[in-house]
Amino acid sequence: MESRATAGTAGPTYGSYLALDAILSAQHPLSDTHDEMLFIVIHQASELWMKLCLHELAAARGAIVEDRMDMAFKMMARVARIQAQLIQSWEVLATITPADYSAMRAKLGTSSGFQSYQYRALEFIMGNKNPAMVDVHGEAPAVQAALREELARPSLYDEALRAMARAGLPVPADRLERDFTKGYEASPQVEACWRAVYAEPERYWDLYELAEKLVDLEYRVQLWRFGHLKTVERVIGFKRGTGGTAGVPYLAKVIDQVFFPELLTVRVAL
């Protein structure tokens, strides 16, 4: 595509199509430190990648509802590649030294990645439901409304269980219809259903592939979480986070949260 310098021609230019004026003028460092630009760009880029993750996962969920598994697999595979980009971003952020970060930290006030509503939406769509997290965005009613809508929807895993039931496997009724604003609780009966899928992959190929795509998503989320923990540990040690969390100890607890519990426990039973 052409550049803004040739804007006299018909149609959009490279710059206008991508709204580069808005994007490239959206960095506003609050300190005079060199590294604050890196800090801002990394987080802005991560939010853009998360926006794409939400776009793809919402579409994948819709495809699962319609039993269009090939489409769902394509979108979930794309998200896995996006997650690789997000994981790699910690390597860049980790080049900020403790002294560099300390020089800018006071300017950040109480702003924190904990306040990322897109990250919260990703947690919700993957099944880590916590209604209290909506309260974090009390000053943004539109954001709260969007998060409440996502909180009430069946998660990606909920729809996977419904697909399994449509395939004739005995998924318990209380896992198919429930209060979706609450976190999912593991079920021995669901684990038995996944065990049947893994025992006969040729018979349940779509469900087998879906299971592995879900496991891949969880695996990469955990790598992202671990990268976050180690980057924070490297840059600020065990100081409290700017948003009021306990910092590293809080992030360590988050790593223990799982999205698709039976897909992990079934591996013991196989």
Instruction: Please state, in angstroms and rounded to a whole number, the distance separating the CA atoms of residues 109 and 36.
Output: 14
Conformational region of residue 28, where left means phi above 0, alpha means psi within -120 to 50, and beta covers everything else: beta
Q: Which residues contact 75 (CB under 8 A, 6 or more apart)?
A: 56, 57, 59, 60, 63
Q: Which residues contact 218 (CB under 8 A, 6 or more apart)?
A: 126, 258, 259, 260, 263, 264
Would you list which residues are annotated within the binding site for heme? 228
Instruction: Please state, in angstroms and rounded to a whole number, the distance separating the CA atoms of residues 233 and 89.
Output: 16
Amino acid at 32: D
Q: Which of 106, 107, 158 is nearest to 128 (CA)?
A: 158
Would you list which residues are annotated within the binding site? 39-43, 101, 105, 228, 242
Would you list which residues are annotated within the binding site for substrate? 39-43, 101, 105, 242
Query: Residue 149 has what DSSP assignment?
Result: H
Instruction: Please state, in angstroms and rounded to a whole number, the distance separating the CA atoms of residues 230 and 237.
Output: 9
Cβ atoms within 10 A of the Cβ of 147, count? 23
Question: Is 72 in contact with 138 (CB distance < 8 Å)?
Answer: no
